[in-house]
Structure formats: C-alpha cells, structure tokens
Structure 1
C-alpha cells in the first residue's frame, strides 16, 4: 500500500505537465496565428515604392487605404522615447495590455462611463490595422486584447514600436513617421527636432483636425510640451506655406514627375532598371527640343533607351511635360501605336538577305504599277518623287527609297513577311496584316515606340530577341507585345549586313546631306528614320553596341506637323541623347562586329556580302528590265481633245499603235483620236514588247 501513493503522485504530475505543455502549444499556435494575421495586414499597408537601378525613389503610390505609407526600419530613439512617455509609460513592462488600466476601463464601462481610454501602444496598433478605432464596445476590447497579447508573444518591443510608428495616421494622406516628417517638416524622421516630434504626437488623437497644418495643433502641442518639459515656439503655418509643403510632398511621392511612366503600371514594381537621373536629363532634352519644334506644330514626343547586352530599359519617357494639364501631356506616348514610316525597312531587307539578296543586288528604281484591292491603279513614289534607275539595295536602304523597298518586299513575299512579324517577332498588328499588304513597305504599319525599339534590339544582340528587363528581370507592361521572348530571330551574318548599311553615312548623303544629326564624331551609330504620311509622325531608331535609342515626335491628337520628317524632328533629339549617353557610365566604346561578312570589289566599288556568294548571279536577282518602261499594261487614260500619252522604252525602238507606225526613239508621243483599247508595241533589234492601254471619256 505504501508504494501506490508515490506512483499516483507521479501520474498526476505527469498529467499536469502534459496539460501545461498542451496549453502552451495551444497558446503558442493560437497567438502565432493572430500575430501573423496582424503582421500580414501591416505588410499590405505599405506603399510599394518604385526605385530606380541606383535605389533612388521614382514614385511612392498611395496604399490600399489611400495613404502614403513609407516604412522606416529603425525609428529614432528620441521619437520612441517621447511617444512612450505620452502614450504608454509601461510599454516595456506589459504583455500587450496593461492589467491595471484594463481593470480601470472595465470598471468605467460597468458604470456607464464613455471615457474608457486605456489602450497600450500595442492595442492601438491592433486598432489601426483592424480599422476598429471607432469601435469601443466590450467585445471589440476583448478581441483587441487577444491580438495585442499575440503580437507581444511573437514580436520584440522594438518591432512593435516600428510597426506602430509606420502605421499611425498623421493626416493629409500621411501614414507613418516617414511620410509625416516629409510632409510637415520636409525632413527625414531621424532629423526631427523635439518640437517637430511634439507637434506630430499632438496630431495622433485627431489627425484631420490637429495636424501641424492646422491652428489647433498649437493648442494641443503646448500642454503636451509642458508635460514632457520641452520648449515649444508658438508658430502658425500660413496657407501659402501649407500649399507649398503639400506641393513638395507631391513632388516627393512622384519624384518630380520622373515616374510618370510608372504610376499606372498594371502591377507594382519595387525595383526598376531605370536610371532616374538619366531619365530626368533625357526628359529635359525632349522638352527643350519640343519647345523649338512648337513653331512646326510638333508638341509631343517620347524616348526609349535600352542598355545592352542585358536588354535593360535605362530611360522611358512618354511625355516631356507630365506635370502639365495641357491636352496630350498626360498621355504616355511611348505606348501609343502610330504608323512607323520607314523604320520597318531594315526588317524587310533583313528578310531579303536571308532569301539570297545582298547589299550589292541591283533593283530598278522606276515607276511600277500595282492594282490595289479597290481595283484602282497605284504607282508608288519615293519621298522626293524621283526615280533613280538601277540602284543597289545598299543604296536603297541608306537613302530610304520606297520603290526598291516595295520590290524587295515582293521578292520576300507578303505571306513570308507576315509570318516573320507575327511568329518570329511576336508582333500584334492593330489591323489584319492583309489590310496593309505592300503598304507595309510605305510605312503604314502601326506600332508604339517601346515595342518598335524592342524589336530593333535584334540588330544589337546578334539576331537574338532577348527578354526586355524593366522590373528586375520581369516586364512591367502587360500589353499586346510579349517582351519576355528569348529566341534567335536572324543569323548573325545577315544582321551584320544590315548594321553595315545603317552605319554608312556616306551612301545616304543624297537624302540626309553631308552634315546631319546622325554625324557624331567618334560614334559609329546605326540609324534608321521614319516619317508617316502627311508628317503625322517623326521617328528615329539608332543604336551602338552599348544601347538602342528610339525617339518619336508628333502630336498626341494625331494632327499633322509642318513638314517635320525623321531627321530634323526626332533626329535632333536622338543626337542630343546620344551625346549625353556617350559620356555616361553606360558607354564602353564597343564596336560593331563585321567578321561574318566580307568586302566585295565590283566594278571599282566596294560592297559587302558573304563568303561563297555568286556575285554576278546575286547582283542580277531582282533586275526587272522590260523593254517598255511607260505606260504600263492596263493603264487607263482620260480621253480628251488634247490627250497625249508619253511612250518610253529602255532603248531606241520603233513604236506602233494598233499596228500603225508612230515614231522611232527611246521616247515618243502618241495622240489618241478615239476611245477604247489601244495596242502598243515597241520593236527593238533583239526583242519586241506589247501592252494594252485604255482610253475612256470618264476616269474610272
């Protein structure tokens, strides 16, 4: 019998210990769940600050509550000291609730008193994060106490102080000590004076009515300063000073409008690849040049700068004056699709080179007739309305000739080029590509500047279309364009042929002159300009191995400019930006590689091709050499009393109309005498050519 009692005691002790452990585990996990819930809400309340590549602030958007919440990781000791003296003297001693204050509050509630304030800093933090500041019911008090105890069980006192200081509201959309310090005192929290801190502490009970911009703040601050034995000057903030400080805070949260392009991102981005200092300088360049172009009715512009080899966006400017309320200034024109003009031509010639053409291949720059979908005749023209006869593709691309580009696109094949745009590049056209047809070569295709500049990076990346980094390693913009592709678009050799042409300033002298905005001493840049129909858009995409720069100039309302083409419009802006970048940390003086192509000497001139080329055959691949140059088969003329039809041939011929001899020579004039179909024949020594034209009394 004597041995049974110790055994029972041991069993009882074991049960008690297990119960205590179980209770401890329940307490631990229950409080952990509640603590995590509060901390998660705290984390959600932080404004997601967008920073540049150098960790400079680009923008601070308001949080889900509409407040600017900039979290400080380590609040100043002085602020913490004065805060505790005012709000919670026993902060370092209680477990989240002050038992004595809680009992006092319970007694007051039992006798019907409404003044039951007894919350610790931890309880106040819970109120803020649960949005229950106005709920003073007994049930809510119990819930707040449970949350407060839970936080205290899993967070240090310093962490709780930080969370409180970052969460407390100070009025005027300023949540937390950092935003309040910046708004009211244009200061960092660590630099606040004792008087500044007193004025902020006086704000806490009623932030909308007693914040430092209000006269009532002085009335609340004075007794608090006396209580804490801190001298306080009686100062009143004027309306003008208040307005100025609010404007300064607006600039602080929007970083002087340098983050205009990032404020409306489809998803938050904490760290971008943007260089905010460079972005600001380029925006100034754009603004300065647009001021000069205003007399040409050009008011808006956009710039994109992409750094290689990482394909990181260094600068993205969609408006020169985002702070302006003038129509169009609040539109991000870097993302607005517009007709891209001749900037599409390098891609057409690239596909031509893939299919066997070379820079030395000849093409006839002359009048051609095409029948468009409506049945009408279409005669493509060059920008100066002149034809140059046989020219090389090198010359045609260097001088941006339209007619040879159309012939090259014909050679490539429309379906092949459609496939290249949609499947290789991933381009999403605004209209079905079949609606553009050969108009693609004339610049009718639409794209936005960011997308177009992105596609041009294949010429800087050995034919690879790499992911475009804007938000860390991810794309910030989720529009039609897939910026996350990583695939080879073209062979390096064909890329080098394009780069050789676009870096050649001599061959393009006819269009651009001896001196132009592309001539930057010591900088061998590849450049392509573009101008849309009737001067609605001025484009330039230019690049060196270190970066690609795209510029657009026009009007957000799509009104026409006064004869502003690519070179004097966007070209001048591009020139100034390249000069800036040339002396930046991003310029390494890297040079284009041309080791996959070779020089070809042909008839005392140097051209470029590939090893193994059959030069003679390749040179003649596109030559179209009909005997009759004009008119064209099926041309229709209006028959009038003085109608004259000019007949042109490649060489001297004998001309016949309806088998009736007219004249000899490379050119003759035929004067019709009746309406209807007329058969025209040119007879040379070695060949004969026939066409039929039509004369009508009314133009079809």
Structure 2
C-alpha cells in the first residue's frame, strides 16, 4: 500500500508539473476585459470594456498593492503562508479535528492551494465542493508551485486571479470599482472588506461587514463594526457601477474603432488622436453648449483631421450628460441635414465644367421652381435678395437663390454623384430624388464624411480615407477634384470681403492666419454646421439636438462657428504658419470690372479674380435687369405659396416681406384692408388663406395673388391678422 501511495504521489506530481504554467506564462496570458486606447504620443486616452462576462483590469504587481491588503489577506486566509510549502498540515489537522466535533473552523486550503484551483480548470470546486481526488491534485499542484514559484509570485498571481463580488475578478478591478482608487491606496478597512469578499463573494452586506470587522480586529485595531458596515454598504452598492478611474476622453471614437477593427479584450492600441487637443475640444464644446442652453441647444459634435495624413486628431461625439439627454448618440457619425455646407462642391463642379467662373454674375431675385411636391421658392438666410451678384459673393455670403440657379446648370444628378464620390455614402438616392434643394443641403450627411470632403478641397482635390491608428497604413490619395477649381473655391471660402454681405468682415469665421470656412443651417434651425480648414488641419463642428428639435434663433454663425474657431486656433499653435496657398497650374488672374448694361454703374467693386485658364474675362456686365424688363406686378410672394410658422422662432424673424416692381406710390391690400405703401412692406404672418393685392396710386389693382400661412398661433407673439393702414 505504501508503494502504491508513493507511486500515486509521483504520478500526481508529474502531472501537476506538466499542467501548471510558469509565473511568466500566467502573467503573459492575462487579458483585461477592457481595450485601452492610447493617444498618438502614448498617453492613456480611453478605456472601454468589451468582455461582458467578467470585469478584469490590467495586471497589478505586488509592490503596487498596499501593505494593508497583504496583511488582511494573510491574517484571514493563510496565517502561515510564509512557513508552509504549499499545504498547511497544521491547518489540515485543525480542520479534521473540527469536523470530528462538528465545530465551525476555517478550511485548510492555503493561498497556494487556492491559486492551484484558479490555474487548473480540473481543480476548481463544483457545486458540491471538491472531490477527494481534486483535493489531492490541488495539494500536489500547490507543492509544485511552492517549489517553482517564489512566495511573492504566488501572492501576486492570486490577488490578480481571485474572484471577488459578482463579475469582478482581480484586485485591480475590485479596487477601482468599489473604492474608486488603485490597489496601492487601499486602507485597512477597505482591505478587510476586499478580503471578506474572497471568502463570500455573494454574501449579504451584514455577513461581509461582520467578517471585515473581525479581520480588522485580528490585526490589532480597535474599530466600531457599525462604521465598517456603512463602508461595506457603500462599496458593495458600486459593484455594478462603471470604473470611476477609467480613462474616458474619447468614448464615441473608441466604440467606433473597436467595432470597425474588431479589437479583442486586453488589447492596447495607439490611435492617431491627440489627447491635449481632444480634451481642449471637448471642454470648448461643453462650455459653448452650456451658454446656448437657454436657446434649446443640447447636443454638439466635432472632428479634427490632419490634412496631409488624414489622421483623426480629435473626435468629440457628444458634449456629455451635463448638457445632453442623448449623450450616447455619436454626432460625428449621425445623419443630419447638411444645409449650405454642400455649396462649395456645387460651385467647384460648375467651375470644373466651365459653366461658371468666380466672376460670373448670378441673379439673386425671387425664384419659383415647379417640383413634384409643389412650388419651390428658395429664400436667403437674411430674408432679402441682393440682385446681381458674382459667384464669389454668392458662395462667400451663402446666398440660396444663386445656388439653385447654379444647380440648374450642373444638374442634381451630377452634384449627387460628386458628393457620393467624396465619401458621402448616405446619399443613396439619385439626384432627381433631391432635386434643386440639394444645392441648399436638403440631404442627410455625416460630419466625418463632410469634414473629410472639405479636407479634399484643402488637399487640392486629393481624397483619402481618415486614419484611425498609427498602425494603419497611410492611404494613397486619389484625385477626386480638379486642383485648379479646388484652389478657387478655397480662395473664396477664405475671403472675408466675399462673405461680408451676410456675416460682416469680423466674425467667428475670421482667423489670424489663412483659413477657408463655410457655415450651414438646416430647415427650422435643426442643425448648425461650420466646416473649414487651414493649411494643416480641417475642423468640422455640428451643433443641434439629437432629438431633432429646432433650436431657438441659433445660426451656424453663433452655434458652431465659435467652437470651430477656438479648436482650429488651438491646433494651429503647434503647427507651422498657415500661409496663403500658391495657385496651381491652370489658374490665371485678371483684374475684373463690373457694370450693368443700362446705368453703367458697377455691380461690384473692381478686383483681382482667379480663373481657370481659358475662361478669363476682364469686364463683367449684368446683361439683364428684371425689374426694368418685366411688367409691373408682385415679385413676392408668388401665387399659391404656402408658408409655415415655427412657434419656437422669434416673431421678428418670421415676418413676410411683400415686394413689387414698376408701380409708383404702390399700395398693398390684404384681405380687403390696406396694410402698407411702397414697393416693399413687411407683415406678421397669420394662419389662414389670404388674398394680397398690389394697387397703383389711384387704387387700381395691378396684380393679386393668393397664399396660405400654416402653423400654431401664439397670441402673445403675433399681431392681429390684418392691420388696416389709414389713407393719408
């Protein structure tokens, strides 16, 4: 029998030696349940959990664990840890004697034996506990571990692999989650609570607190158990809460990257993001949205791209819970209506096809287009019309009617195809589906795709996909736009004078260095955009509400532009000076002079203008004057027009402007009552169907139109339906 036991022991020892790995192998095989993202300089940027079965953090070394934790563990689980060789035979004898007398004693399993069970699936306890053979195998494995590993390695591996509360595995996860600190900072009470959870991971608060109190007392400290119970309740209440110490600078970017590249748990990935820029951008956006809160603005997003490499330098998908009720929605990838941000690509296409030049004149006067949905009558943001304007002014000042006239030349299909080729894959329908309204951005796009399209303009028409990590191969640029026409569009977008008719010379669009920028505001002020670039960076900003609610009197100028300027300024601090680009081959310049064909007065000031070679003109003449060549009558509104009121917008911004031509001392009559005189008059819209008459000085009807106003009525905002004007 003795020989049989010896032989059995030799076999078990041999199998244990074969099954048990080295300390280095165990540590190397450890995988956190998180993915850790680093910024481009290697600084921790974002930690995000991807393994939902267990919660584990990075492996923690024994010197980084507080002495209090080590003392509490040993006093509770293995007082003779440094004396035994894996099996505490004194403890075994005490446990056996207790079982004889049916008394409650601590189990005889040492820390080393427990570690053996953690390392070998075959030695783990089942619902009925360990079998005799498992206990024998556990003892032999513990003996092998003591022979091959140091005591410090055994203790370190145990504290990293032991289960605590629920899904929490390892001291690092427990310490971060329950106590909001690293293992190095655990005090005696916290260490006692952690140790008590090893013995009873799912025990009640009272059981855990009682056990923790005894551990503290066994260490020679006098303490009130009631206070430990309070600490235990607080700690256990956090067991399912997120890790409060987790790096959390780019959550939306992290989720998108992990899903896109299928990154496995425990991975550490070096991204292209810049932590200082990311933190600054997030702070600026939060601060600005807080200032806009009273205007019903909750959400915002921004992205910064490096022009040359395409590196994503900052990605703020939301300003966070402080301002938003939908902070999990990623505004960088969400579909939102583009507004006027698509106009640069419309004019670039018109230049490339040589339908227009930057000096060409377009008529900014009332326009009505027949569509499948009825009459389409675009208006400008400022609710007025400028007459004949150059394309430079039309794009810089973001005038709508000239853009609609331009898309009639280019065609909606050609513009849609160009935008799709630039990466705006959300434009799945053909151009006829969007119609002329595509010129004004009546289509949904993503901020990341729109910003990268602007980066294409910055790169002389060369497109490449954004780069997410430093390990990604740099994408080879593809020529998507003509370099010469791209240069002219960028020059217009950088021209303060060109945009001054709408935005003024000094605004949030103006920088101390060369930059090109465009704003956009969608229907009912549901979306604000500002997208633009310097020589080195492209920045896109969106402001609005994830719910789709309208903002209250917030344009792209006041919503997104201040954030765009601040973020681009910060990025430029660490970059070379952004100087005016050099014209590429195929671009020439001319001094152009404007005049109209009747008065000979200049339509716009004489200036130097850029042209594609072969399209140069030195004199630009306004060859038609609608108000002179057309019969007297009503310019606006058009017959059959339908206007919609928005109760969230200030009434002064919703006045209708009635315009006429060719009538001296004109009179305006609405629904049988006189409301104004002259070629132009303003009226507060009132819901209902109305008949408007233009009369001459003798009261004779020149023209009449019918229109309708729809929308809710706010009695304190709108005047009476028609206010009569007394004859003088």
SS at match of 1:215: helix
Query: How big is the shift at 1:508?
Result: 0.8
Query: How big is the shift at 1:396?
Result: 1.3
Change (3 A) 1:193 1:591: same
> In terms of mean alpha carbon deviation, does 559-568 or 456-465 score higher?
456-465
Change (3 A) 1:501 1:246: farther
1:492 correspondence with 2:483: yes
Q: Hey, what's the Cα distance between the residues in 2 that align with 1:123 and 1:485?
A: 57
Q: Hey, what's the Cα distance between the residues in 1 that align with 2:352 and 2:16?
A: 69
**Which of the residues 500, 507, 520 maps onto 1:530?**
520
Q: Hey, what's the Cα distance between the residues in 2 that align with 1:151 and 1:618?
A: 93
CA contact (8 A) 1:599 1:608 kept: yes
SS at match of 1:425: coil
Task: Give the match for residue 171 of structure 1.
Answer: 165
Q: Hey, what's the Cα distance between the residues in 1 that align with 2:57 and 2:84?
A: 28
Q: Hey, what's the Cα distance between the residues in 2 that align with 1:178 and 1:618?
A: 76
Query: How big is the shift at 1:438?
Result: 1.8
CA contact (8 A) 2:493 2:516 kept: yes
Task: Give the match for residue 454 of structure 1.
Answer: 452
1:252 correspondence with 2:244: yes
Change (3 A) 1:158 1:605: same
Q: Hey, what's the Cα distance between the residues in 2 that align with 1:224 and 1:42?
A: 36
Query: How big is the shift at 1:605?
Result: 1.6
Change (3 A) 1:546 1:647: closer
CA contact (8 A) 2:526 2:551 kept: yes
> In terms of mean alpha carbon deviation, does 295-304 or 419-428 score higher?
419-428
Q: TM-score, normalised by structure 1?
A: 0.71
CA contact (8 A) 1:211 1:217 kept: no
Q: Hey, what's the Cα distance between the residues in 1 that align with 2:65 and 2:550?
A: 61
CA contact (8 A) 1:59 1:253 kept: no
Task: Give the match for residue 50 of structure 1.
Answer: 37
What is the number of residues matched between the two proteins? 604
> In terms of mean alpha carbon deviation, does 330-339 or 154-163 score higher?
154-163
Task: Give the match for residue 343 of structure 2.
Answer: 345
Task: Give the match for residue 599 of structure 1.
Answer: 589
Change (3 A) 1:270 1:361: farther
Q: Hey, what's the Cα distance between the residues in 2 that align with 1:240 and 1:92?
A: 31
**Which of the residues 130, 144, 169 maps onto 1:137?**
130
Change (3 A) 1:461 1:153: farther
CA contact (8 A) 1:92 1:157 kept: yes
Q: Hey, what's the Cα distance between the residues in 2 that align with 1:456 and 1:559?
A: 27
**Which of the residues 546, 552, 563 maps onto 1:562?**
552
Query: How big is the shift at 1:628?
Result: 6.3
CA contact (8 A) 1:202 1:211 kept: no
Q: Hey, what's the Cα distance between the residues in 1 that align with 2:522 and 2:501?
A: 20
CA contact (8 A) 1:430 1:446 kept: no
Query: How big is the shift at 1:338?
Result: 1.0
Query: How big is the shift at 1:441?
Result: 0.4
1:65 correspondence with 2:35: no
Task: Give the match for residue 610 of structure 2.
Answer: 608
**Which of the residues 389, 392, 399 maps onto 1:391?**
389
Query: How big is the shift at 1:289?
Result: 2.1
Q: Hey, what's the Cα distance between the residues in 2 that align with 1:559 and 1:47?
A: 36
Q: TM-score, normalised by structure 2?
A: 0.68
Q: Hey, what's the Cα distance between the residues in 2 that align with 1:577 and 1:238?
A: 49
Q: Hey, what's the Cα distance between the residues in 1 that align with 2:28 and 2:100?
A: 35
**Which of the residues 543, 546, 549 maps onto 2:533?**
543
Query: How big is the shift at 1:61?
Result: 2.5
Task: Give the match for residue 442 of structure 1.
Answer: 440
1:222 correspondence with 2:221: no
> Superposition pairs for residues 266-345 of structure 1, below 5 Å?
266=259, 267-268=262-263, 270-271=268-269, 272-322=271-321, 327-345=325-343
CA contact (8 A) 1:449 1:550 kept: yes
Task: Give the match for residue 189 of structure 1.
Answer: 183
Q: Deviations over 1:511-559 (max 9, x none)?
A: 0013311123x23221100010121111111221232222112122211
> In terms of mean alpha carbon deviation, does 600-609 or 303-312 score higher?
303-312
> In terms of mean alpha carbon deviation, does 236-245 or 464-473 score higher?
236-245
Query: How big is the shift at 1:196?
Result: 5.8
Q: Hey, what's the Cα distance between the residues in 2 that align with 1:273 and 1:576?
A: 21
Q: Hey, what's the Cα distance between the residues in 2 that align with 1:36 and 1:416?
A: 65
> In terms of mean alpha carbon deviation, does 289-298 or 502-511 score higher?
289-298
Q: Hey, what's the Cα distance between the residues in 2 that align with 1:429 and 1:150?
A: 66
CA contact (8 A) 2:424 2:450 kept: no
Change (3 A) 1:364 1:323: closer
Q: Hey, what's the Cα distance between the residues in 2 that align with 1:323 and 1:126?
A: 48
Q: Deviations over 1:126-145 (max 9, x none)?
A: 54464944452325557767
Q: Hey, what's the Cα distance between the residues in 1 that align with 2:624 and 2:507?
A: 34
Q: Deviations over 1:421-480 (max 9, x none)?
A: 2234352326554321221101111112233223222133333323323344459xxxxx
Q: Deviations over 1:345-401 (max 9, x none)?
A: 111122222223432233333444433134x44333333344434332211110111
Change (3 A) 1:98 1:623: farther
